[in-house]
Amino acid sequence: MKRIICALAGLVSLAGCNTQTSPATTPAQATRPQQAGPPANSPGTDYQVYRTQLPGQADSVTLHLVTAPRGFDATGTAGRFGSYYGPAGRPYTLQGQPSAAPDSVVLFETSPEKAIDPNGSTLYWRLRRQPGGDLAGAVGQQPVRLRLVRPAAGALTFVVHYFADSVAAFPREARSPKAHLSVQALVPVGQPQTLATSILSGLRGDTIDGIPSTSLAALYKQQRQNYFKNYHEDAADSRPTPADTAGIGAYAPGLTYENQTAAYVLYQQGNLLSLGFFRYDYSGGAHGNYGTTAASYDLRTGRRLRYADIFQPAAARQLPALLARAVRPLVGLQANEPLDKQLMVNTIPVTHNVFLTEGGAVFIYQPYEIASYAQGEIRVFLPLSELRPLLREGLPLPASGVATR
């Protein structure tokens, strides 16, 4: 549980930033249309791809690493999210940990399969930047070097665009609570506009295709306007109370709102791209709500691949048993133990929140779907060998991995 809480803290803090102390994210800059010229990252952000051979493994792995401001109250500290995978196509996730040294990159494993022991101790990647862009250091106690992969001409890569702002509930009050909003987007480079439009639709949270597109700046502007309007309406129903002796102040802490959205690369190989859109929202109560929505894209067309595009109708009857078997080791269950010993369900429902890799598919269950909030998100990987009879034809996968009907 300690690992899950730490991972949540890292995700929640990665997307936030106080624009009053960061000139890169003032409202004027955040809503300004992009100027013509080569695409560039927002200040304090970065997207890089690395390859390395992890200790004790024969095959190399690919790591996609996104850097963005760590939090609203930590604008000078980089937050990081990484996803890595080997030839088998099973992805694992990493979170960044703050470090005082500017050349230091500290990451920790958040996938339960990578726990060192049953108590939840996690594996750390302690690295330093090298001349030329490589990272070198240790994974656990073993030395490792991550080689920076520079994209070939015309190959897919991304720039990171970051927007953030805050507004006071009571502007005339010096210690007024505030609402914070941030959006961290990935903008594809070297691909047709169709892909950029599809990704922006995912960032917006569209559940169906065909909704008219907009620009990233216009999307943020509209979200900012709506969010701050709703916040002021909530604040209007709140009245200051005399400060108590605990020093909390005149306002309840529940009036400090946060809404964060961030996009990350989960997998990219050949004609297949999979992204994760992480969202966190706190609008009062014991804790905020969060979750990752996955999206896969066919790079041949730029089109998003939703559940119905990936699986045949008959898959819904066969997937629950496959998911139940795969989830057991993730939550510490033996093969003969009932699921509700650790989960909130007896049968694993088939979520449509799924993304593809060339080695299989990952089904993401957000908090409360099948497990408690403290257990965090649960990601269940099913290998392609089990999924072949269930997949539709024409997917951007190795030819041997798609069933022919």
Q: What CATH number did the domain enclosing 367 receive?
A: 3.90.640.20
Same structural domain for residues 27 and 83?
A: yes
Residue 12: which H helix or E strand, with range?
helix 2-14
Distance CA 78, CA 41 (A): 14
Same structural domain for residues 314 and 392?
A: yes
Same structural domain for residues 164 and 294?
A: yes
Q: What is the pLDDT of residue 254?
A: 81
Q: How many domains does the chain have?
A: 3
Query: Residue with structure tokens 């992480």?
Result: 278
Same structural domain for residues 20 and 138?
A: yes
Q: Show which of 118, 149, 180 is a domain's final residue.
A: 149
The tens digit of pLDDT for each residue in 188-209 reads: 998 899 999 999 999 999 999 9
pLDDT < 70 regions, the chain: 1-38, 71-77, 117-120, 239-253, 400-405
Among residues 291, 356, 352, 363, which one has the least CA distance to residue 326?
Answer: 363
Q: What is the pLDDT of residue 349?
A: 98
The tens digit of pLDDT for each residue in 253-270 reads: 689 999 999 999 999 999
In a domain, 242, yes or no: no
Same structural domain for residues 71 and 6?
A: yes
In a domain, 248, yes or no: no
The tens digit of pLDDT for each residue in 110-127 reads: 998 887 765 567 889 999
How many angstroms from the chain centroid is the CA of residue 231? 25
In a domain, 77, yes or no: yes
Same structural domain for residues 173 and 118?
A: no
Q: What is the pLDDT of residue 403?
A: 40
Task: Look up the domain containing 85 and give its range.
Answer: 2-149
How many angstroms from the chain centroid is the CA of residue 2? 20
